[in-house]
């Protein structure tokens, strides 16, 4: 197991932190989801609820948005915390291994009961893959999800399997 940082968490938090894979596994069991396929048949692996991360970094009460950043392919989504507090999770493991890139790993954000692509703010497009940084802020942060069908189609064309 490596000690490399997988997830940087910053912004309006009092406990800015960098998480290794081991740090994620050490988050309190009450926030761990051993098998996400129990929540929805389309996903597999183990996750940690977003709330566990919020607690670990002590998010400021003024923070209203969570922005999920993927440097790997420059993809970003910014979402209202309240709307997803009980639905957002970070999928980070396959049994005792880090999540594979083919599954959006090492860390993939996932929202239970999301809507279809561009059907509201909490849509399938917000399930950001390869998340390496999470930022909390008072105002909405950077978001470059595709806005229409053409932009969406172009994005999927450039995605590497
Ligand atoms: N990093 C990253 N995450 C991403 C995307 C992307 O291009 N890059 N596409 C988004 C879009 S538009 C959708 S619909 C879903 C698709 O998830 P899937 O490939 O697991 O079906 O991932 C989202 N997460
Ligand atoms: Mo999408």
Q: What is the dihedral of CA 105, 107, 113, 117, to 10 degrees?
A: -60
Q: What is the CA radius of gyration of the chain?
A: 15
**How crowded is the C-beta side of 11, counted as CA atoms within 13 Å?**
25
**Which residue ranges have their beta carbon within 6 Å of ligand 1?**
70, 73, 75, 104, 117, 124-125, 127-130, 146, 152, 155, 159
Please give the chain's pLDDT, 161 residues, in tens.
557 999 999 999 999 999 999 999 999 999 999 999 988 777 889 999 999 999 999 999 999 999 999 999 999 999 999 999 999 999 999 989 999 999 999 999 999 999 999 889 999 999 999 999 999 999 999 999 998 889 898 888 877 55
CA 106 to ligand 2 centroid distance, Å? 20
- Atom 16 in ligand 1: which residue has the minimum CA distance? 125
String of DSSP letters for 19-68: EEHHHHHTS-GGGEES-GGGT-TT--SEEEEHHHHHHHHTB-TT--EEEE
**Residue that has been written with the tokens 């392919």 in this structure:** 73
CA 152 to ligand 2 centroid distance, Å? 6
Q: Tell me which ligand sits closest to the C-alpha of residue 145.
A: 1
Distance CA 28, CA 155 (A): 36
pTM as predicted: 0.95
Quote the DSSP letter at residue 118.
Answer: T
- Atom 21 in ligand 1: which residue has the minimum CA distance? 124
Cis preceding linkage at 106, omega within 30: yes
Q: What is the best residue among 107, 124, 148 to mutate for testing ligand 1's pocket, by most ligand atoms within 8 Å of CB?
A: 124
Quote the DSSP letter at residue 99.
Answer: P
């Amino acid at each position: 197991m490596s000690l490399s940082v997988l997830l940087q968490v910053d912004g309006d938090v009092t406990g800015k932190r960098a998480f290794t894979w081991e740090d994620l596994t050490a988050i309190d069991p009450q926030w761990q989801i051993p098998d996400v396929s129990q929540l929805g048949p389309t996903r597999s692996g183990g996750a940690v609820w977003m709330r566990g991360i919020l607690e670990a970094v002590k998010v400021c009460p003024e923070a209203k948005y969570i922005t999920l950043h993927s440097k790997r392919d420059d993809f970003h989504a910014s979402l209202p915390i309240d709307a997803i507090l009980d639905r957002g999770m970070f999928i980070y493991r396959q049994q005792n291994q880090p999540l594979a890139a083919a599954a959006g790993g090492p860390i993939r954000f996932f929202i239970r009961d999301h809507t279809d692509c561009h059907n509201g703010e909490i849509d399938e497009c917000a399930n950001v893959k390869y998340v390496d940084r999470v930022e909390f802020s008072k105002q909405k942060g950077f978001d470059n999800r595709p806005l229409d069908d053409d932009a969406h189609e172009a994005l999927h064309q450039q995605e590497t399997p």
